Amino acid sequence: MLRRAAAVVAGEAIALFARFVTAPRAIWSGVAPESVQRVYFANHSSNGDFVLLWTVLPPHLRARTRPVAAADYWLVSPLRRFVGRDVFDAVLIDRRPEARSEDPVAQMVTALDEGASLIMFPEGRRNSGDVPLLPFKTGLFHVATARPGVDLVPVWIGNLNKVLPRGEVIPVPLVCTVVFGAPIRLMPGEERDHFLARARGALMALSEVGT
């Protein structure tokens, strides 16, 4: 009970700090913040991406939304473990195929079956290059195949990579935008490469909204 109370307080503190540093502007474009189970899939340019996306969700959605995150990052210390597991209730994925004991897709599907919404980053790693969006890995397709009735909502996170550049620990206050687009679903018979290209296009289309 005490640990859970501490996690709630820590979550509110993190959200308050994120809002103070980024003054985030949530833009719901083609979708509304409704109590519907969703997979939010976003671009990934900063370690703070899922924190900011989680922060701008209304409290009733935030309470049921779990980020998919790297176990090797969030389990490296007691503090990160507390934040990852207790505060965000993250679905922690082992990024080492040769060492993992659980299938990442099965972990995500289990979370969906338990009623959670998810935050995913289909690029699979942080994008620190010049291209706006890396090619998508296959995880989003496999989740959509396993649960085709779940809405997949593209989310473009703008400016956060400038707030916390790679290798830096002190954030630079800047206004950030989080743009939520119209949901998509896997179409019957749609092949993997076509679906991933369509999902990537839906996300890229949001990159100019709100700039």
Q: Mean pLDDT for each 10-residue chunk of the chain (211 residues)?
A: 85 86 87 95 86 92 93 87 91 82 92 97 82 92 97 89 57 77 96 97 87 55
Give the per-residue pLDDT at 30: 87
Q: Write out the two tokens for 106.
A: 């099965």
Sign of CA dihedral 165, 8, 70, 186: negative
Sequence-separated (6 or more) residues with CB below 8 Å from residue 207: 43, 132, 133, 156, 158
Handedness of CA 175, 18, 75, 102 (dihedral sign): negative
Give domain status of residue 210, yes or no. no
Q: Are 119 and 42 contacting, i.e. CB atoms less than 8 angstroms apart?
A: yes
Contact 131, 107 (CB under 8 A): no
188, burial (CB in 10 Å: exposed 0-12, middle 13-18, buried 19+): exposed
Give the side-chain half-sphere CA count within 13 A for 71. Answer: 13
Residue 211 counted as domain residue: no
Q: Domain count of the chain?
A: 1
pTM of the model: 0.90
In a domain, 81, yes or no: yes
Residue type, 80: R
Q: Decide if 209 is inside a domain.
A: no
Contact, 76 vs 188, CB < 8 A? no
Instruction: Give the three-state DSSP class for 25.
Output: strand
Phi first, then psi: give them for residue 84, nearest 5 degrees. Answer: -65, -45
Looking at residue 110, what is its pLDDT? Answer: 97
Question: What domain range includes position 199?
Answer: 2-204
| Distance from chain centroid for Cα 24 | 15
**Residue 156 CA: distances (Å) to CA of 34, 35, 41, 42, 180:** 18, 20, 9, 6, 7
In a domain, 168, yes or no: yes
Alpha-carbon span 89 to 69, nearest angstrom: 10
List the structure tokens of 157.
């996170």
Pairing of strands 151-158, 177-180: antiparallel
Q: Specify the CATH number for the domain of residue 44.
A: 3.40.1130.10
Domain for residue 195, yes or no?
Answer: yes
Residue 125's pLDDT is 81
